Amino acid sequence: MKATREAVYLDLRTKQDSRIQGDELVHNTVEQQWKPRSSTTQSIRIVIADDHPIFLDGLRRLLEAESGLKVIGEACDGREAVRVAGQLKPDILLLDLRMPLLPTGNLSDEAGFEALRNLSTQSNPVRVIVLTAEVKNKSVIVEALQLGARGLVVKCCATEFLLKAIQTVMMGDTG
């Protein structure tokens, strides 16, 4: 029996989360707000993988300003993302879909997909939330889910959507 994978694509423009269940797209209005974990619980350990230094630095600062979140590592290409995630064993990996596989490589969605393939073969796979500038068609989302991503967030979304996705994935759901 094939396992069913579900994820949530959060869209700021339509204020909807679109859940992909199998090949079906189900839309819901986003109403739940980010609720930080209580200060008595352990912080969510996060690694960020993105090839744009300004975006990476800004995202790190944004996440570290939230109680209950801790950025423990960064990567600038697909192979480094796999290596850092394997070494540090974060709770969440925020993975840019479109970045080079190597520091000198060409930009390609394939680098993000290749990193997802490699991460899924690890003995303790990390929960991956894919970050992307745009989604041209739902096949990108479906492929990311099939390769093990637990969620996808478009970079133009408000901070609360990314925080909600992190919280949702950490609760055991897909986000």
pLDDT digits (tens, 9 = 90+) for 115-144: 898 898 887 779 999 998 877 778 888 888
Nearest to 155 by CA among 139, 172, 137, 133: 133
Say which CATH superfamily domain 6-20+40-170 falls into: Response regulator (3.40.50.2300)
Please report, for residues 51, 72, 73, 88, 116, the alpha-carbon distance to residue 113 in angstroms, rounded to integers and kept in the order given. Answer: 15, 23, 20, 21, 5
pLDDT band at 173 (very low <50, low <70, confident <90, very high): low
How far apart are alpha carbons 79 and 112 in whole angstroms? 9
How, if at all, do strands 92-96 and 127-132 pair? parallel
Give percent of the chain with pLDDT exceeding 90.
38
Handedness of CA 67, 95, 79, 50 (dihedral sign): negative
Helices (H), 65-158: 78-88, 109-120, 138-146
How far apart are alpha carbons 161 and 58 in whole angstroms? 16
Q: Write down the number of H helices and E strands in the chain.
A: 5, 8
How far apart are alpha carbons 52 and 156 in whole angstroms? 15
Domain boundary assignment for the chain: 6-20+40-170
Global pTM value: 0.75
Phi first, then psi: what are they for 85, rounded to 5°? -65, -40
For residues 101 and 78, is the Cβ–Cβ distance under 8 A?
yes
How far apart are alpha carbons 132 and 134 in whole angstroms? 5
Query: How many Cβ atoms sit within 10 Å of the Cβ of residue 88?
Result: 14
What pLDDT, on the 0 to 100 scale, is given for residue 88? 95
**What number is the average pLDDT over the span 43-50?**
95
